[in-house]
Structure 1
């Protein structure tokens, strides 16, 4: 009689074990084949600049290069244009008030001045004629009124003598009536001439005022034209140094063309270009320091130019106290512009990564130095060396501060 064979462990469980192994293999293959949401890039460590988050004092200053410029400049412009006739000064010469610089001719201005003079003469002649007519009219009115007054007196006396004669019946009533009518006529005529005189006086006064106003206006125009003609002989309005002056005899100048300037040779300001990042933190009277030959000279911002050109805006600074000796126009000085108070802060180097990320994120290196993960951060103030860390990083963490040009769309780096 056959005995049934005893199954060993493998024979008993091989189907189950095989199924489990097959399931594990499928899971591993599926995980390996599944898409990874993280964008990963392998990077050579030697191409990276890695820095440590440190604790220190943040100096809220920025370095600037200031160009020495004259504190005051007066520009010379050919307002009406013209032709250069004679040059009295050379570029770079020192001038005093009233010194002749250049003579310019302008035929149009000269003809305009002559025309203005003729118009003024014509108006003055008209004014004088009007005044003479007014005097004649006034004299004629006075003569007429004087004669009428005499006639009224004579007629009044005649009427007075005739009235007693009526009672004596020496004259007729009609003769008296004619005499009284003639007296009334003379009085009425006297009244009308007086009224006509007042009207003539009022009208002539208005005409005289209009003519005088016209003459005054023409005189003003004539003065303006003569001033323009006189300005063609350019003289120094202030003392200083003549610069940017490169005219030649016979050269034509367009209206409004600038042909030179007079600079203050003894007082200076500094012109500096500031990164547009600091636009909102820059204000008038903000202080700065210039170090010259181991001596510091305080300055303050006098004017801010809001136009941004190539990522920078201009500021003018003036010396708050003593001006350095032996500085000249065009010289460059190193400045430190104080933006705020110096305070303790977590710091990272101010490097190229900021231009690529805007300071919103950074790659943080793992403790073993083999990986770097993208992390959002919040940064504060910047100076030429450091950036203030407000949040997102811990002390002694390592971060990549080299350019992120190739990593802008990457989530993590594998460092080898």
Structure 2
């Protein structure tokens, strides 16, 4: 094959070969245009305030900052609860033998409610009673022996006293006879010697009697203590049998009954509860945001059956669960009637007085932004603004710094704006 070149005279001028242009010369205008667009976008983002989110106007809620009276309260939802609740617990475990009342029944104090059976306990108590009876019998026999010993000593003392009195009388008579020469000297001296001996014996018996009486009193005191202990143990044994019958601890309504015939219940099991019927309280779950501001004695107003009732915070449970903590409120003044346990109640819990403040309508924005920033409107553009917010109630949030009266703020949810610097509002 023949190769041709531009200088070859055999190649006509109109068929000259043209060299192909480099690739970069053909595509550089497109790359330049793309770079220009990117730079322009970056410049617009920086100049316009960073990351932008566009949203329809009808999808946001706008609130206006204004001066006004701020009422410091928390609106919570509570329930009616019995003022007193006593739980039915088993002092002794056993099998449910008989249920004497139904759940929801009105009961009287000490009324039998549930009967348990515990054969093992009953045998133990019977054995304990027999052993206690034996020990009590031994104690009684010991007491009788001590009493008999005391009587024997007393009898000995009486006898020696009587002998001393007789000898004393005889010696007085013998003295007169001896002085009248009617009694021999030996006889008189013998009677005097016998009296001296009997007096020594009397003194020894008296000393012995005193010591024995002290010992007897100590032993009787110990026996009395033992007897009291045995009686206490016997009573405890009998009460353990009596405890197998669960009784109502007070007048009220039996609720939450958890017992079926034949069920085995361990010691300490809760079988139900008895609620007071004539007195009620309120219980409410309060947002943990208010934990440091709720105290006992604070006032509240509850709306029940279309009427308002006053109450005070009686107890604050500081344990937080699922973002809330529990409070108990006691009624003051008029007490509602015709209510039932578990009835829902709207409660207005007063946290402070009414003060003049700069107010922003409340909304989901507070939870989403943590109350440290908002989106402030300027025309149809809302820019992120750092703020300081204070107290809040269901209607308003107190503005401390960062906003002024007349400012318009997006108060709807910020969940989609967490990493956004500017929100553009578009007409529908």
TM range (shorter): 0.7 to 0.9
Q: CA deviation at 1:159?
A: 11
Q: CA deviation at 1:205?
A: 0.9
1:347, 1:388 within 8 Å by CA — same for their partners in 2? yes
What residue number does 2:200 align with?
A: 188
Q: CA deviation at 1:204?
A: 1.3
1:83 aligns with 2:95: yes
Aligned counterparts of 1:199 and 1:75: Cα–Cα separation in 2: 57
Secondary structure of the residue aligned to 1:344 is: strand
1:238 aligns with 2:247: no
Aligned counterparts of 2:283 and 2:317: Cα–Cα separation in 1: 11
Secondary structure of the residue aligned to 1:137 is: helix
1:73-116 CA-to-partner distances (Å, cap 9, x unmatched) read 22111111111111211112222344332211223442343344
What residue number does 1:14 align with?
A: none
TM-score, normalised relative to structure 2: 0.75
Q: CA deviation at 1:368?
A: 4.6
Q: CA deviation at 1:383?
A: 0.6
**What is the RMSD computed on CA atoms of the aligned residues?**
3.6
What residue number does 1:284 align with?
A: 296
Q: Which runs of 5+ in 1 are unaligned?
A: 1-28
Aligned counterparts of 2:51 and 2:165: Cα–Cα separation in 1: 129
1:394 aligns with 2:395: no
Aligned counterparts of 2:349 and 2:313: Cα–Cα separation in 1: 9
Aligned counterparts of 1:315 and 1:293: Cα–Cα separation in 2: 22
Q: Which runs of 5+ in 2 are unaligned?
A: 1-38
Mapping for residues 122-137 of structure 1, pairs under 5 Å? 122-137=134-149
1:383-408 CA-to-partner distances (Å, cap 9, x unmatched) read 11211112232112233444455665
1:152, 1:187 within 8 Å by CA — same for their partners in 2? yes
1:151–1:333 Cα change, 3 Å: closer
Q: CA deviation at 1:155?
A: 6.5
TM-score, normalised relative to structure 1: 0.77
**2:223 aligned to 211, 214, 235, which one?**
211
1:366–1:245 Cα change, 3 Å: closer
**2:156 aligned to 141, 144, 162, which one?**
144
What residue number does 1:44 align with?
A: 54
Aligned counterparts of 1:197 and 1:130: Cα–Cα separation in 2: 19
1:15-72 CA-to-partner distances (Å, cap 9, x unmatched) read xxxxxxxxxxxxxx9xx99xx9x99322224476543322222222222111222232
Mapping for residues 311-390 of structure 1, pairs under 5 Å? 311-359=323-371, 361-365=372-376, 367-370=378-381, 372-375=383-386, 377-390=387-400
Q: CA deviation at 1:137?
A: 1.8
Secondary structure of the residue aligned to 1:342 is: strand
Aligned length: 377
1:53 aligns with 2:62: no
1:39–1:138 Cα change, 3 Å: farther
Aligned counterparts of 2:285 and 2:60: Cα–Cα separation in 1: 31
Q: CA deviation at 1:201?
A: 1.0
1:364, 1:397 within 8 Å by CA — same for their partners in 2? no
1:159, 1:179 within 8 Å by CA — same for their partners in 2? no
1:404–1:186 Cα change, 3 Å: same
Q: CA deviation at 1:365?
A: 2.8
1:171–1:70 Cα change, 3 Å: closer
